[in-house]
Amino acid sequence: MIETHQVATAARLLAHDTFDQKCALRPIMDRTTSRWATLIVSALIAGPHRFAQLHQRVGGISQKMLSQNLKALARAGLVDRHVTPTNPPQVTYSLTGLGVSLAGPLTELIQWFGRHGDELLAAQEHYDRRHEQASPSV
């Protein structure tokens, strides 16, 4: 009985250990923190968007990738897809309450890259120069 209780307690405590490869949240975390999903959520923080507006706002994303990411974000409960029954139907995407709570940290992350962009690019150049000199020409 005690062993069963301990196993149940351990399972409950480790249920959302994202460092564990078997964590059920890992696939959701992977999909919602991808480059495209991060930009989509950040774009939607400004308010609801239609598909074409999002496609235009998130530069470089294909329509297929936008569609796949919107479906993944909706499945995760972060984005709401609202269809207005017009001819043709008008589809609008917006953040859910859960999505809004994620948008803040994601937007801060994007802003961090903006603030440190010059430093990051300089570090890359420094690294590349150092490793070009260290490796012999073939």
Give the pLDDT of residue 12. 57
Q: Which of 113, 102, 106 is nearest to 39 (CA)?
A: 106
Q: Per-residue pLDDT tens for 102-128?
A: 998 988 988 999 999 999 999 999 999
Predicted TM-score of the model (pTM): 0.76
- Region 66-92: mean pLDDT is 95
Give the pLDDT of residue 13. 54
**132 or 56: whose pLDDT is higher?**
56
Give the pLDDT of residue 1. 59
Q: Per-residue pLDDT tens for 9-25?
A: 566 555 677 778 888 88
Give the pLDDT of residue 24. 83
For the residues of the chain, what is the DSSP string, one character each? Answer: -HHHHHHHHHHHHHTT-TTSTT-TTHHHHHHHTSHHHHHHHHHHTT--EEHHHHHHHSTT--HHHHHHHHHHHHHTTSEEEEEE--SSPEEEEEE-HHHHHHHHHHHHHHHHHHHTHHHHHHHHHHHHHHHHHHSPP-
Q: Per-residue pLDDT tens for 35-61?
A: 999 999 999 999 999 999 999 999 999
Q: Read off the pLDDT band of 73 (50, 70, 90).
A: very high
**31 or 93: whose pLDDT is higher?**
93
Q: Read off the pLDDT band of 28 (50, 70, 90).
A: confident
